[in-house]
Structure 1
Amino acid sequence: MLRSLVGFKVGSLVEVIAGVNSHYPALLGPDEPELLLTKEVAEKLGLYPPQPNWESVERLSVGGPAYGWFVRKAVRAKVVEVDREGPEVEVHAYIVSSFPKVLISDAAIKPLGIWAVDEGRGLWCFGDELRDVLDGRREPRKSYVT
């Protein structure tokens, strides 16, 4: 879903497929959007290797403890679809070098314009499309990976 990220490196732009995870709480709370970035994506954005002044953070996940670096307001992100784009949002980055994919935290889902329609089937829409989807006037969007 998330296909556009701009980081610290001048001119950096990375398109990625990211998972939406409503059970991934943002470190600073529900009003502070956050993305979990892989080492590879962080490198492309100029956010790896870590700088000495970045916060080292250990968090618990389903797979056990995750060790990484937290960088405040590090990335501008937006959802890019074939027919339109969502709003651009400034987000914090949690960089975990051992994690296999980019994740969107609970606090970043709605600011990015994402509304889940059927999580199990990977169906979603932008917030301003929700009424039409619920009324059957338009089909929900399908995630890239189901």
Structure 2
Amino acid sequence: DIELLGTKLQEFATQAEEGAATEEAVRRSAADIADLQDQVQQLNGDADAKTSGLLEQVGALLQTTAELSEKLDGCAEKEEVLRLGARVDGGLDALAVRLETDRWVRDGVDKVADNITNQFIKLLDERSSKVEARVEACEKSLADPK
């Protein structure tokens, strides 16, 4: 019986050692679980902070979109802009044609005026020559009393 009692004592000692090891493992597991819970809480806090930041950014983006939409409503439609562009182009073309026509007419008028002036001067020269010839003839006839 003493042997049996010794064996039982050894079994109890072994079980006690195993129980102590199990308790130590449970304690370590509990500490690891607590650390993991802290990390999860920290990650949740970070995620909440980022989420609130993103919500603020989305709100600002929505406000900017609304402002741009209001500005866009105040802008002219594409057809109106195209019509205005065509009208401006037509006006500029008409102005260019008018300026070119005016220059061409002035050049023509200047040429005609130059020709008239030249013809008038030529006529004056011819008349002046004839008058000089008559004056000379008169002077000769007055100088020669026959």
Classify the TM-score, shorter chain.
under 0.3
Higher relative contact order (CA 8 A, sep 6+): 1
Q: Looking at CA atoms only, which structure, 1 or 2, has the larger radius of gyration?
A: 2
More strand by share: 1
